[in-house]
Amino acid sequence: MPRGINNSDPMKESSYDVLIVGGGFAGSTTAWFLSNRGYRVLLIDSKPWNRIGDKPCGDAVSKDHFDDLGMPYPQGEELEQTVQGIKIYSPDMKTVWTVKGEGFELNAPAYNQRILKEALKRGVEVMDMTTASSPILEGGRMKGAVIFNRRTNETIRVEAKVTVDATGNARSLRMKLPPGIPVTEDLDDKDADVAYREEAITAEPIEDPHFLRIFVSQRAAPGGYWWYFPKGEQKVNVGLGIQGGMGYGSVHEYYRKYLGVYAPDVKEVVLRGGALVPTRRPLTSLVWDGMVVVGDSAFTVNPVHGGGKGSAMISGFCAAKAIMKAMEVGDFSKQTLWDMNLCYVSKYGQKQASLELFRKFLQKLPDEDIDFGMRKGLIKEEDLVEVSVKGTLKLSVAEKAIRLISGLSRPSLLMKLKTVASYMTKVKEVYNNYPTTFSELERWKAALNDMYAQFDAALDQ
């Protein structure tokens, strides 16, 4: 029985410093950074232990994230394949860019559970098969959650100084709060990809198994892309994402129709599943009084490539840092927890906002323009690295392109690229001025929304 639970009441009650709801990458990283500090931390997850971290995913994560946060590298069974780079194929498959960069193809549940076990060993309590059914809100501030443990058949009222919503795309805690609280911001269907993947054994050994493959094609994955991520000599994670809310049809139909084009060597499927991926900037505020939101629930995914495990870890790191400060001063208000916003925005959120604009631009490009742009080198591999690392599309690239306009056949594409590059810089400036206090949030948000509206109008011209 977890420490602090009072067994005599009809509804059990317990109290903790921190309640973390959800044990995926975001929740378990938060727990890992909070562990060993003498706090009373409870992490719950609806899944049984052996399925925590088991969610449909491409499982590719850049090594930089582990280095940046000081997280342990995956090892042994946690690591399925080391990655040396990505090959990006144009829609007509005639141009292939190779972007080098180290990373890992994870056995995600194994790595996730290892992080959680380390946190457990260092004092965090973990309850599996336990679901938070409703938040406890008192005087407008978050005070914990009512949880149900399916192993013991107990309903428990858990009070906590800080409650962390790490519920992934379910967003199952924060969306039960009254509307009007900033952390209840909803997801527009168009700002998400519907993604599906299978893991399969291949008929032959995979060529270049240390390189991930990405196939861009509006025809075969409208508003998204196909991937082929080797997980070993003869094992692959293959899938696609398509933009939601556009009436494009079922992701499964695209999968069946184009599997033979992008993964002709698939022999035997060992795993299948899909989920939604948010592809927008993060929540305007990731904190409320007594509450922090992390991971997919806070929309921390990279809007262009849809990778969200590394940024879920960043959000967990920032959450833990902000909670530690709150514990130090004994104040759990949104203003003290605000450091979470400042940390996340500077580490990743600002880049996400800029990449959201790039994503919107890419989603409107016909295959012919992408073929043309890649073939002519309007953007080059190194520019793509710059975009993905810093969220900056170098104006010089677009300007260089503009100078070539006379000789090329698609001036409108080039002009648009220049517009996109300039708005990407502008949005980063807006994020540079992310408010330092809650009271400035609404004004800042109005300026941001204004900028996004201008960008959308410019893109539609």
Ligand X SMILES: Cc1cc2nc3c(=O)[nH]c(=O)nc-3n(C[C@H](O)[C@H](O)[C@H](O)COP(=O)(O)OP(=O)(O)OC[C@H]3O[C@@H](n4cnc5c(N)ncnc54)[C@H](O)[C@@H]3O)c2cc1C
Asked whether position 131 contacts ligand X by CB under 6 A, the answer is yes
Q: What is the DSSP string of 257-278?
A: HHHHHH-TTEEEEEEEEEEEEE
Of 7-15, 76-84, 170-178, 361-369, which segment contacts ligand X by CB under 6 A? 170-178
Q: H-helix or E-strand containing 421?
A: helix 411-432
Across 141-179, b (16+ Cβ under 10 Å) vs e yields ebbbbebbbeeeebebbbbbbbbbbbbbbebbbbbebee
Kindly indicate which of the ranges 69-77, 113-121, 163-171, 344-352 contains the residues binding ligand X, using the contact rule CB under 6 A.
163-171
Residue 336 or 363 with smaller CB distance to ligand X: 363
Q: Is residue 342 exposed (0-12), middle (13-18) or buried (19+ Cβ within 10 Å)?
A: middle
Stretch of residues binding ligand X (CB under 6 A), selected from 91-99, 165-173, 418-426, 435-443: 165-173
Instruction: Tell me: does residue 61 bind ligand X (CB under 6 A).
Output: yes
Regarding 263 and contact with ligand X (CB under 6 A), the answer is: no
Q: How far is CA 362 from CA 127, 223, 417, 427, 455, in A?
A: 42, 8, 10, 17, 14
Distance in Å, CB of 310 to ligand X, minimum:
6
Distance CA(117)–CA(126), nearest Å, equals 9
Q: Considering beta carbons, is residue 59 or 80 the nearer one to ligand X?
A: 59
Beta-ladder partners of 242: 194
Report the Cα 452 to chain-centroid distance in Å: 21
Quick one: residue 152, left, alpha or beta (phi over 0 = left, psi -120 to 50 = alpha)? alpha
**Whose Cβ is closer to ligand X: residue 121's or residue 150's?**
150
Identify which of residues 74 and 310 has a Cβ nearer to ligand X in the complex.
Answer: 310
Assess 349 for contact with ligand X (CB under 6 A). no
Here's the x/- map for ligand X, 267-286, by CB under 6 A: it reads as -------xx-x---------
- Applying CB under 6 A, does 167 fall inside the site for ligand X? yes
| Amino acid code (one letter) for 391 | G
- Residue 196 vs residues 190, 236, 252, 300: alpha-carbon distances, Å: 17, 14, 7, 19
CB 189 within 8 A of CB 244: yes
Q: How far apart are CA 406 and CA 363, in angstroms?
A: 26
Q: In terms of CB distance, is 296 or 369 closer to ligand X?
A: 296
Cβ-based nearer residue to ligand X, 187 or 312: 312
List CB contacts of 38: < 8 A, sequence separation 6 or more.
Answer: 123
Which residue's CB is nearer to ligand X, number 240 or number 401? 240
Given 43, 56, 86, 160, the residue binding ligand X (CB under 6 A): 56
- Structure tokens of 395? 């104006």
239 lies in the binding site for ligand X (CB under 6 A)? yes
State yes or no: residue 307 binds ligand X (CB under 6 A): yes
Bridge partners of 98, per DSSP, are: 87
# of chain residues touching ligand X (CB under 6 A)? 43
Pairing of strands 291-293, 154-165: parallel
Q: Which of 124, 266, 301, 393 binds ligand X (CB under 6 A)?
A: 301
Binder to ligand X among 308, 373, 391, 435 (CB under 6 A)? 308
Pick one of 224, 306, 349, 391: the residue that binds ligand X (CB under 6 A): 306
Q: Of 16 and 25, which has the nearer Cβ to ligand X? A: 25
**58: contact with ligand X by CB under 6 A:** yes
Nearest approach, Cβ of residue 442 and ligand X (Å): 27
Binding of ligand X by 2 (CB under 6 A): no
User: Footprint of ligand X on this chain (CB under 6 A)?
Assistant: 21-27, 44-47, 52, 55-61, 131-132, 166-170, 172-173, 195, 197, 239, 274-275, 277, 295-296, 301, 306-310, 312
